[in-house]
Structure 1
Amino acid sequence: MPRMIVDVHSHVFPPAMIARREELARADAGFAALYGDARARMASAAELIASMDGAGVDRAGAAGFWWRDRGHAEEHAEYLLSAATEADGRLLPFVPIAFEDGDARARTRDYAAAGARGLGEVRPGDRDEDEAAAWLAEVTAGLELPLLAHASEPVGHAYGGKGGGFTPSGLWRLLEQGELRVIAGHWGGGLPFFALMPEVRALLAGGRLAFDSAASALLYEPRVFEAVAELVGPELVMWGSDYPLRAQDRDLAEARAAVADPALREALLGDNAARFFRLD
């Protein structure tokens, strides 16, 4: 067993935002694509903690939504930081910063000082991926703030939120921006399958890019866990449930069942995340 079970990819919202779902969907097309349907699950930090308790999860990355509006981003970020404090270290807050925020650099520093563990879930939306990568590098320069990046596979079935994520080439641009550290959600939109290219392998060797399994069961066959680990290295894969889209207990059980090797299972389910985030 890993020394702790870490879900690196979950989503929580302030209860006040959950209550304003329809209003927020009218104001933000990206939010509407994911949460405009009243059947789309949204959860508070308290609900995430209850899920963690039931599933046996020790810590979880709690990500915000990448809002277009600065005020919405601030409201969400402040909630995440407060919830993480109340959870006594069990939640790792990934806070949103609006691209249009003129004080983004100073605000990011303030959030880092207040306990943010990263930015997320980052989505370039309709912004050019090169511009988004340069902006993210600028606002996080000198800070220990990795990105939880929404990655979208360029082929396959359509679903709400598939558009507006980083493509494999967009993730490559992020890693070209100096010191950025990135967790690429949803198996990086397929980027691991380029790891047989020498230049991609060399970039991965730096340890600045890892891949999470969020929503894996909705996208890939179970053998993707072992396939990606073989391609990129067992130290660069992390379990993410995408809660509340996926129930943590069920997703954790499926991840365990998908990995035969005990050492890889331990790395995936917590050891890699513990090292990446320097968790006690």
Structure 2
Amino acid sequence: MGSPESLPRLRPMILDAHTHLFPEEVRKKRKVFCSRDAAFRLLYSDEKARLAGLEDLLEAMDREGVDKSVICGFPWSDPGLCREGNDFLFACYQKAPSRVLPFACPPLLPARQAEKELERCLSLGARGIGELAFYTRTIQARDIDRLANLLKPLGGSGIPLLLHVNEPVGMNTRERP
């Protein structure tokens, strides 16, 4: 039996479990997309708020020693933008399958479109669902009911859900309960 010094040193996998990536069009036309979506405007209207693409993420991962990253789109209010964002994530996965884990971000409404988009994304290899978020308001009972209906077909599949449920972004600390 060898000494502890002779054993190989094991390094745990470092996983960034929450990154948002955006297609080039969104990164270049930030103001246009801010005008189209209240939650996006809330988070990204400030030019200092970084909008990253795949290359930005891979460079940061290499610099910081991150092995894999969960990549999320954005919970757009427009189902078409959700679909485009998901397509972008799957394109990123095709370019760097050993480095990124795409999560599907279906629209929350309308319900039938959400179900179809989630089914489509899972068939394309989504590793999870999210980030589903309620940035401009607190989550309500009706939202939980919608989520339960959307996720019911997944049953005990073990597919992770990334859910943002805190108070609305930007809430002043004096206003918190």
**Compared CA separation, residues 61 and 162, structure 1 to 2 (3 A):** farther
* 2:5 alignment counterpart: none
TM-score normalized with structure 1 length: 0.52
| 1:132 and 2:139 matched | no
Structure 1: gaps spanning 5 or more residues: 155-159, 164-280
Q: Percent of aligned positions with the same letter in both sequences?
A: 31
Q: Which of 4, 15, 20 does residue 13 from structure 2 map onto?
A: 4
**Compared CA separation, residues 23 and 139, structure 1 to 2 (3 A):** same
* 1:13 alignment counterpart: 22
Q: Which of 34, 37, 42 does residue 51 from structure 2 map onto?
A: 42
Q: Which of 68, 82, 94 does residue 103 from structure 2 map onto?
A: 94
Q: Which of 113, 119, 122 does residue 112 from structure 1 map onto?
A: 122
TM-score normalized with structure 2 length: 0.80
| 1:141 and 2:152 matched | yes
User: How far did residue 103 of structure 1 move?
Assistant: 2.0
CA distance in 1, matches of 2:152, 2:11: 32
1:101-128 Cα shifts (integer Å, max 9, x gaps): 3321122111011111222221134475
Structure 2: gaps spanning 5 or more residues: 1-9, 172-177
Larger radius of gyration: 2
Question: In 1, are the aligned partners of 2:132 and 2:164 still within 8 Å (CA)?
Answer: yes
CA distance in 2, matches of 1:66, 1:36: 16
User: How far did residue 162 of structure 1 move?
Assistant: 4.1
Paired amino acid for 1:134: D
Question: In 1, are the aligned partners of 2:130 and 2:162 still within 8 Å (CA)?
Answer: yes
**Compared CA separation, residues 53 and 128, structure 1 to 2 (3 A):** closer
CA distance in 1, matches of 2:146, 2:165: 17
**Compared CA separation, residues 2 and 150, structure 1 to 2 (3 A):** farther
Of stretches 9-18 and 93-102 in structure 1, the one that deviates more from structure 2 is: 93-102
**Compared CA separation, residues 37 and 127, structure 1 to 2 (3 A):** same
When the two chains are superposed, the root-mean-square deviation of aligned CA atoms in Å is 2.0
